[in-house]
Structure 1
Amino acid sequence: MNVVCETERLVIRQFDLNDDGFILRLLNEASFIRYIADKNVRTQADAIAYLKNGPLLSYQALGFGLNLVTLKGSDVSIGMCGLLKRDQLEYPDLGFAFLPEFCGKGYAFEAAKAVLQTEMMDPGLETVMAVTLPDNLSSNRLLKRVGFRLSGTTEVNGSQNNLYVYRR
């Protein structure tokens, strides 16, 4: 288990192939499809391919990626949070998604803050971006609370998104 960081209530660790069941569930939540994208992950094999070609590849190539968020002491998987590098954005961006039953409890804020503090310790990483749909009010609010500043809009996954910037 490769732990990225911990908070009072959470353990944030890198994904491994045993997390396929969680990925299958999270990526098929209506809120994930609505506010992030339909990744067309419908089977266990799709989930394993997503992990191999997404987070696991990112860890190898960049040293960071999306991470699994679990409740400390119970190992219950509740969401994901980490940095991505999208071709259409100049800098890495913060990504996060949580199962609906764990939303509204401060976990996303706690995870985002911890991931930023940990990843921004890399001396080469001074700027992180974030994108979210304008009508995703909770994500827009969270980004502002952790210190992102709205800088404009950009197209991601075929939709106009608010573009935020966070600087160390």
Structure 2
Amino acid sequence: MILETERLVLNELTPEDAPFILELLMSRGFRENIGDRGVRDLESAGGYIERARAGYAANGFGLWRCDVKATGEAAGLAGLVQRDGLEHPDVGYAFLERFWGRGYASEAAAASLAYGRETLGLRVIVAITTHANLGSIAVLKKIGLRDAGTIRLPGYKHDSAYFTTEPG
């Protein structure tokens, strides 16, 4: 276990998580708000997990599977990512639509942010989202990030809303 919150347990992804990753990354919400990661079958979901596990080894963090304590169900991903085009680690999260509206994203993102600052000693953590993703923008503001304008990451066609823990 990496993190535990009031209602969630966050763990590293394992190869056994391929069906969950396939469902999450193929979901409409993920593809519209985060992007198409090219995951179309269990094999490509396994490749996504391998890349995530390599990130854990290289950076000491990554996106972790969020399980609902009460049921043990995998509900989403949350954690920190070292993304190309960003100087600082990025807090990220994505949940299956059936778990939206329950506060899990805020809970997991806040715990990930605290872990980054307190356990990993990261001074600055950032976040990006689409300008249209008002739910995600609300989560980022709720966990204490401030709006820092826009940024265009390498390989992206559109600007992203950019948030940071740095004081303005």
Instruction: Give the structure-1-normalised TM-score.
Output: 0.94
Distance 1:134 1:73 in 2: 33
| Residues 1-168 of structure 1 aligned to structure 2 (within 5 Å) | 3-53=1-51, 55-122=52-119, 124-156=121-153, 157-167=156-166
- What's the offset of the Cα at 1:167? 4.3
Kindly state the Cα deviation for residue 118 of structure 1 after the two structures are TM-superposed: 1.6
Structure 1 unpaired stretches of 5+: none
Moved over 6 A (4+): none
C-alpha RMSD over aligned residues: 1.3
Note closer, same or farther for the CA distance 1:46–1:114 as it changes in structure 2 (3 Å cut): same
2:122 aligned counterpart, secondary structure: coil
Tell me the alpha carbon deviations over residues 137-156 of structure 1, each in whole angstroms, 9 at most, x when there is no partner: 00001100000001110113
Q: Could you tell me which amino acid in structure 1 is paired with residue 97 of structure 2?
A: P
Aligned length: 165
Equivalent residue of 2:125, what SS?
strand
Percentage of identical aligned residues: 38
> For 1:145 and 1:41, how far apart are their aligned partners in 2?
31
Structure 2: any 5+ residue segments left out of the alignment?
Answer: none
Please state how far the C-alpha of 1:73 moved relative to its aligned partner: 3.9
Cα displacement string for residues 96-129 of structure 1 (whole angstroms, at most 9, x for unaligned residues)? 0000010011011111111111221135411100
Does the CA contact (< 8 Å) of 1:4 and 1:118 recur in 2?
A: no
TM-score (norm. length: structure 2): 0.94
Equivalent residue of 2:39, what SS? coil
Decide which structure has greater strand share.
1
Q: Distance in 2 between matches of 1:136 and 1:163?
A: 12
